[in-house]
Amino acid sequence: MKLPHPKLLVLSAPSGTGKTTIITELLALFQEGLKLSVSYTTRQPRPGEVEGVNYHFVDKKQFVRRIHEGDFLEWAEVHGNYYGTSKSQIQEYLSENRAIILDVDVQGALQLMEKSGLHAEFIFLSPPSLKELKKRLKGRGTENKEDLKIRLNNARMEMEAQHQYQHQLVNKDLDQAILDFALLILQLCSTEKGKSDLDPKLIPDSNSSPKAQLEEISQKLKSIF
């Protein structure tokens, strides 16, 4: 399945918002029509993360070399670690007529917004509140007290920038957030440039639960594309 009008979808969200879970579900839903650009980072892998799937893990020396070689479309330092997006990977996916999710922090997204000739849609995913975000981060159990404080401070600053994004989504309920994101992708990638109406054949039954609507979208995608 290939989407008729693939787009570069730039996604930012505070740490702990549920971004990784949502992306995983969307990749399963859209299958080969949607790809995730795998970023480079100097941070250490978390338990369960896989090289080349979650990130390309490199040391600082390797990362700086790539900066000097002009290999990154954007890069930024976040929480003391470097993150960057490979130009060649983006070009490869676009040439294959795939929609691409580019998972970047706010610094990287703001860099991309300034690039002339880059046709992208910018999406910000936020938690329902900072209080809820703190609860989720504590529940994740991967940050110590100081790291938690840094992430919450960063989240506060990142959320202040969300008005600069074309689209804003809130992850209050996970299934609903996945559904909202899926419908947004369909709207952006299934319609002609300049049009905002979604093909009626793709609209699920709004009386169903979010999970049932996602299953309906999955079946529609298989039959249409």
Domain-wise residue ranges, the chain: 8-37+99-224
Asked: is 8-37+99-224 a CATH 3.40.50.2000 domain? The reply is no
pLDDT over threshold 80, residue 4: no
Percentage of the chain beyond pLDDT 90 is 44
pLDDT over threshold 80, residue 147: yes
DSSP string across 144-205: -HHHHHHHHHHHHHHHTTGGGSSEEEE-SSHHHHHHHHHHHHHHHHSS-TT--PPPGGG---
More confident residue, 113 or 192: 113
Confidence of residue 194 (pLDDT cuts 50, 70, 90): very low
Tell me the Cα Rg of the chain. Answer: 18
How many residues in total does the chain contain?
225
Shortest CA distance to 119 belongs to which of 139, 91, 143, 157? 91
Dump pLDDT digits (tens) for 76-124: 888 789 999 998 888 888 788 788 999 888 988 998 999 877 889 999 9
pLDDT over threshold 60, residue 193: no
End-to-end CA, the chain = 5
Range 46-60 average pLDDT: 92
Contact 120, 10 (CB under 8 A): yes
Contact 141, 179 (CB under 8 A): no
More confident residue, 123 or 48: 123
Q: Tell me, what DSSP letter sits at residue 65?
A: H
